[in-house]
């Protein structure tokens, strides 16, 4: 069929009588070749479309269940002041000397009775952070930091067995709290955080309460602004939609509080995945514990300021979720949970499989364009447009809605970032595909921390060199793939297939943007300009 549509000339009597048999054999071979490429191409597009439709579903769940949103000021029950539970705050760190002072100072200023409260600094560091952290704890414990003596404890391990999960488990062995709050090194909890969260544990059966991340350095660079939008989508629509609908959702590893009993009954912290937080979350919810998400409680943190750091973070999350899916999904699917809970868990834990599928799509795109060069506007409208709307447009609408919820007066500015946001998602496919494939084949890897630098001013990255890492050949692969897609753009223009050009340009921009920033990170460090100090504007908002 493809042969005749590409060559729609009248069939002459001569051709019929002399070459029919030979040509029909060629047509058959062309059809087999075409089908062998187009079938996987459309299957991949279809699977990606299903995951795209799921984003629309999360938006629908978010709005449909708006009345079920949990609010910090309206817990079903309250603890009396004299009955406030004892809280252990765990601060797991690893080689993070630039941010631990800020973190410890914020935790020591939390509004909570000091006789009902302790702080554990869980240090797995192997560099000078050890001396910095130990001296800092001694200062806060002795009251020489301008505060009264604080109930802080320093626990240092000489090995990283179990990584972050191992450090948390080690701290629990000596923890006094019936409730456990956890903050990563780059977070700065506001003084009211504990009191906003703790009263929700007066409700029986609540095992964990998660709060929303905000961003200390949102306006540091164009990259951090795009990262902020990506995280906002997760914390508004994914967490918001799932928590309101009563399906399983996850603790994010930080800026949340656990009931110690829920951790113990779920089997404790385990380190056979890179997302120990999601793993424990699902095990606890399978045991019947309920989770709450407080969207109105903010906990600011530092965003990665370099592309390689961002890639490392995203790859760890992608690999960890697939590992958790392999481990947990059989239990979820075999449980007594309702079907819609199981389906949402499936979408949640397998979503990163879209990255390898994007690689397949990238490989097949040019051949599919050549084979389908006979298509007219009608076929494009009936076949490609619905798949494009489901698999691609859902991304933009997802993040637009999240910004509208957070910043109703200025959300429209998000339109300026949408092409780059979508392109950045494309550019992550190489590193995240590698991570997903490693998870699928069972390849283990170390917990790769995300470097934090306590950036206070725009362009201030002088400390970044200490923990900066390169990604080897991967940036060059990204640039090469970007060149391949530039070729597809040229082909689309020369064949007047203009409908695909904007879509293809996203691939070019994404691969070149991530590749170039990875290679050139640190080359354009600037002196600080207009940004204010963090203590002057601690919680940047808006776009």
Residues tagged active-site:
124, 277
Task: Provide the token pair at 393.
Answer: 């447009």
Q: CB within 8 A of 374, min separation 6: which ones?
A: 2, 5, 6
Neighbours of 248 (CB within 10 A): 22
3 state SS of 379: helix
DSSP calls for 498-535: GGGHHHHHHHHHHHHHHHHHHHHTTTT-----SPPPTT
In the block, tokens 């640190």 appear at 522
Contact (CB, 8 A) for 427 and 480? no
Neighbours of 155 (CB within 10 A): 18
DSSP calls for 8-34: -PPPPHHHHHHHHHHHHHHHHHHHHHH
How does strand 179-182 pair with strand 256-259?
A: antiparallel
3 state SS of 212: strand
Residue 192, Ramachandran bin (φ over 0: left; ψ between -120 and 50: alpha; else beta): alpha
DSSP calls for 43-64: HHHHHHHHHHHHHHHHHHHHHH
């Amino acid at each position: 069929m493809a042969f005749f549509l590409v060559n729609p000339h009248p069939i002459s009597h001569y051709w019929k009588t002399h070459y029919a048999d030979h040509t029909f054999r060629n047509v058959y071979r062309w059809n087999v070749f075409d089908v062998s490429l187009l079938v996987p191409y459309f299957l991949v597009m279809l699977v990606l479309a299903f995951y795209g439709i799921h984003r629309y579903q999360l938006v629908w769940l978010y709005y449909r269940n708006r009345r079920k949103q949990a609010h910090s000021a309206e817990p079903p029950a309250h603890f009396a002041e004299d009955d406030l539970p004892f809280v252990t705050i765990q601060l797991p760190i690893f080689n993070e000397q630039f941010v631990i002072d800020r973190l410890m100072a914020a935790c020591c200023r939390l509004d909570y009775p000091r006789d009902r409260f302790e702080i554990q600094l869980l240090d797995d560091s192997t560099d000078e952070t050890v001396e910095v952290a130990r001296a800092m704890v001694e200062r806060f414990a002795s009251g020489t930091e301008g505060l009264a003596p604080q109930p802080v404890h320093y626990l240092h391990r000489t090995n990283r067995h179990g990584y972050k999960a191992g450090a948390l488990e080690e701290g629990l062995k000596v923890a006094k709290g019936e409730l456990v709050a956890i903050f990563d090194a780059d977070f700065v909890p506001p003084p009211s955080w504990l009191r906003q969260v703790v009263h929700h544990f007066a409700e029986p059966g609540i095992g964990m309460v998660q709060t929303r991340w905000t961003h200390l350095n949102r306006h540091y660079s164009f990259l951090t602004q795009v990262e902020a939008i990506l995280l906002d989508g997760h914390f508004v629509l994914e967490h918001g939609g799932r928590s309101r609908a009563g399906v399983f959702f996850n603790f994010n590893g930080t800026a949340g509080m656990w009931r110690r009993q829920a951790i113990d009954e779920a089997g404790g912290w385990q380190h056979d995945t890179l997302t120990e937080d999601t793993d424990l979350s699902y095990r606890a919810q399978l045991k019947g514990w309920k989770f709450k998400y407080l969207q109105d409680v903010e906990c600011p943190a530092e965003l990665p300021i370099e592309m390689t750091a961002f890639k490392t973070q995203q790859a760890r999350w992608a690999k960890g979720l697939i590992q958790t899916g392999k481990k947990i999904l059989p239990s979820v699917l075999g449980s007594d949970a309702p079907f819609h809970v199981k389906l949402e868990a499936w979408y949640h834990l397998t979503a990163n499989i879209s990255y390898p599928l994007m690689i397949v799509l990238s490989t097949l795109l040019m051949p599919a364009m050549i084979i389908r060069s006979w298509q007219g506007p009608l076929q494009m409208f009936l076949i490609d447009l619905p798949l494009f709307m489901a698999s691609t447009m859902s991304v933009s609408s997802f993040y637009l809605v999240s910004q509208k919820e957070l910043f109703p007066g200025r959300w429209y500015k998000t339109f300026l970032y949408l092409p780059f946001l979508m392109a950045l998602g494309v550019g992550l496919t190489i590193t995240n595909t590698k991570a997903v494939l490693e998870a699928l084949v069972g390849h283990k890897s170390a917990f790769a921390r995300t470097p934090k630098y306590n950036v206070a001013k725009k362009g201030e990255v002088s400390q970044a060199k200490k923990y900066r890492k390169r990604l080897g050949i991967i940036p060059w692969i990204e640039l090469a793939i970007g060149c391949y897609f530039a070729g597809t753009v040229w082909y689309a223009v020369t064949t007047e297939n203009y409908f695909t050009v904007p879509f293809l340009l996203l691939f070019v921009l994404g691969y070149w943007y991530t590749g170039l920033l990875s290679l050139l990170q640190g080359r354009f460090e600037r002196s600080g300009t207009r940004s204010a100090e963090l203590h002057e504007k601690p919680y940047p908002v808006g776009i």
